[in-house]
Amino acid sequence: MQFSFSAASAVPSGALVVGVLEGTNLLVAAARADTDTGGAVKRALAASRFTGTAGQLVEILMPAGLKVSRLLVVGLGRPEKFDAHAAEMAAATALGKVLSTNETEIAFAIDTPKGVKLKGPVLAAHLMMGAKLKSYAFNQYRTKDLDDHKLRLAKVTVMTGDLAAAKKAWAPLEAVSDGVFLARDLVNEPPNVLYPAEFARRAKTLSTLGLKVTVLGVAEMKKLGMNALLGVGQGSERESQLVVIQWHGGKKKDAPVCFVGKGVCFDSGGLSLKSGSGMMGMKGDMGGGAAVIGTMRALAARKAKVNAVGVIGLVENMPDGGAQRPDDVVTSMSGQTIEVLNTDAEGRLVLADALWYAQREFKPKFVIDLATLTGAIVTALGNEHAGLFSNDDKLAQRLADAGKKVREKLWRLPLGSAYDKLLRSKIADMKNIGGSAAGSITAAQFLQRFIDKTAWAHLDIAGVGWQDGEQKLLIPSWGTGFGVRLLDRLVADHYEG
């Protein structure tokens, strides 16, 4: 699909989208369309109980007086609430309607409402962002009923009065959207296609963007003492990997920001085998790793002025004769010993070594890990918020603020020494489960034991890394790509020199 900007005076074809504020206040392009059609826009709005509320849409087919095949009037809501996110949602609403038609082109002619701080070129860029995010599809494995899923729309145009400024505003957003798409693709891939070595191979292709990508295999990780990570993968025929991605966009002496991702490419539960229904969807248990690689791609593509490192521990958790057993004790890279009482609490074992490696090798300003870690976080927060845990109030607040801006919402949960007693082992430094109480907190408390005087945040994205039903407007697929926009916004707001 082609995405481009055109002059506001251009004559569109195909579908045309105009905007109306709450109270049926027509913006300039909508008022012009109403005049050109002899008042057809206002008559259609009156007949449809349209009030301009955000998300409302009225469609006028073959409007007389216009050369377009259909005119879409989209509600923008109240002007004081109209912002970048509202623009994205409006564009996604209109594009979603057109995707179900035979249209091959769509043009957006939505002006900046009076009193809104969002400048015209920025508005245009976010309209493009909403349209692009909505356009995502993962259909490469379909061989039947293709007509029901075939993407007929080929061209998306946003009309603007300042082409150069709109293109400039769009450039970083385009880089981020490509990072989101990469993360979604990885989460959506079937596990027989995307296993640790294939994930690592795809990471290596990003070297064309200027990223330095290094892959450590089993032998190299054994030398480093990464027995917690390796224990998870020892029951699989697929070799475990550690992917390290570096971006050098800041000053040479600046410490990097660091992102660590859980990359369990398939999680059967190991010998603590999941139920059949519980195993479905476990191809997405590498959603944290997908977010990290998507973020690194975005930073490189927009040439972010920061030094950044992404570390992803890649494993399959499978139950063969060589698999890790409940009651095994492993020695992590940090030297701490772990009694493994449940092999389905595997993500924290992968992260334990990946976090320690990241701190030892790169001495980062901070380290943020992302993981589809616990079902308990879904019980607590549902599918609307990711869980946020941190040892640093400043970092936690910055993450929460970034999440609000891009609508990747976080909710901070507590940490504290009182929870440590739940991790006490009779024979090792700790056990890998804390019991039925406070499951997400004890998992985070476990991870904190592998943080060595570094500002750290843990994002449990089990409830937001994928979605059943594909219902969210900007996320038209099972894989969400959650975390890419959040981390990019965090970096852009606070860590670029």
Q: Which residue has the higher pLDDT, 428 or 113?
A: 428
Q: How sure is the predictor about 327, in pLDDT bands with cuts at 50, 70 and 90? A: very high
Alpha carbon 88 to chain centroid, angstroms: 16
233 touches 240 (CB < 8 A):
yes
Residue whose C-alpha is closest to residue 333's, from 355, 359, 353, 362: 353
Which of 32, 155, 204, 274 is an active site residue?
Answer: 274
The distance of Cα 497 from the centroid of its chain, to the nearest Å, equals 24
Check residue 497 and give its pLDDT.
Answer: 84
Strand runs labelled E in 126-185: 155-160
For residue 83, is pLDDT > 60? yes
- In tens, the pLDDT along 236-293 reads 999 999 999 999 999 999 999 999 999 999 999 999 999 999 999 999 999 999 999 9
pLDDT at 152: 87
Residue 348 is a catalytic residue: yes
Cβ(106)–Cβ(98) under 8 Å?
Answer: yes
Phi and psi angles of residue 338, each rounded to the nearest 5 degrees, phi first: -130, 125
| 407 is an active site residue | no
* 421-452 residue pLDDT tens: 999 999 999 999 999 999 999 999 999 999 99
Collapse the DSSP code of 294 into the 3-class scheme (helix H, G, I; strand E, B; otherwise coil) and give the result: helix
> Tens digits of per-residue pLDDT, 142-174?
887 666 556 789 999 999 999 999 999 999 999
Domains of the chain, earliest start first: 2-160 (3.40.220.10), 176-494 (3.40.630.10)
CA 62 to chain centre: 38
Please say if the pLDDT value at position 126 is more than 70.
yes
Average of pLDDT values for 459-466?
98
pLDDT of res. 320: 96
CA dihedral 144, 145, 148, 150 (to 10 degrees): 40
Average pLDDT score, the chain: 96
State how far the Cα of 486 lies from the Cα of 363, in Å rounded to an integer.
22
SS3 90: helix
**CB neighbour list of residue 386: distance below 8 Å, 6 or more residues apart:** 377, 403, 408, 409, 410, 411, 459, 460, 461, 463, 464, 482, 483
- In DSSP terms, 4 is beta-bridged to 157
Q: Is the pLDDT of residue 315 over 90?
A: yes
Cα dihedral: 70, 71, 75, 79 (round 10):
150
Please give the pLDDT value at position 61: 97
Cα gap 29→476, rounded to integer Å = 28
What is the reported pLDDT for 147?
60
- pLDDT computed for residue 149 by the predictor: 55
> Which of 113, 26, 37, 121 has the alpha carbon at shortest distance from 74?
26
Task: Give the strand pairing for 105-109 and 155-160.
Answer: parallel
Sheet with 337-340, edge to edge strand ranges: 328-331, 337-340, 430-431
pLDDT of amino acid 148: 58
Q: Distance between CA atoms of 263 and 461, rounded to whole angstroms? A: 13
Q: Which two tokens stand for residue 45?
A: 């709005």
Q: What is the pTM of this model?
A: 0.97
Buried b (16+ CB within 10 A) or exposed e, 241-271: bbbbbbbbbbeeeeebbbbbbbbbbbbbbbb
Q: Spot the catalytic one: 184, 297, 348, 489.
A: 348
Per-residue pLDDT at 316 exceeds 60: yes
Please give the residue that has the higher pLDDT: either 331 or 468. Answer: 331
Q: Compute the average pLDDT of residues 325-333.
A: 98
Rounded to an integer, what distance in angstroms lies between the CA atom of residue 338 and that of residue 431? Answer: 5
Q: Which of 126, 44, 144, 143 lies closest to 89, judged by CA?
A: 126
The total of other beta-carbon atoms located within 10 Å of residue 83's CB is 16
Q: Is the CA virtual torsion 317, 319, 323, 327 positive or negative?
A: positive
DSSP-assigned letter for residue 283: G
Q: What are residue 307's DSSP bridge partners?
A: 248
Q: Is the pLDDT of residue 140 over 70?
A: yes
Pairing of strands 70-75, 57-61: antiparallel
Higher pLDDT, 150 or 360: 360
pLDDT band at 24 (very low <50, low <70, confident <90, very high): confident
Name the nearest CA neighbour of 257 among 483, 494, 5, 12. 494
Strands 257-267 and 241-248: unpaired
Please provide the size of the chain in residues.
497
| Torsion angle in degrees (nearest 10) through CA of 1, 474, 464, 278 | -60
Read off the amino acid at residue 146.
L
Please identify which residue in the block is written with the tokens 């609000």: 404
Q: Does residue 337 carry a pLDDT above 70?
A: yes
Instruction: Give the 3-state DSSP-derived string for 378-397, with helices as H, strands as E and coil as C.
Output: HHHHCCCCEEEEECCHHHHH
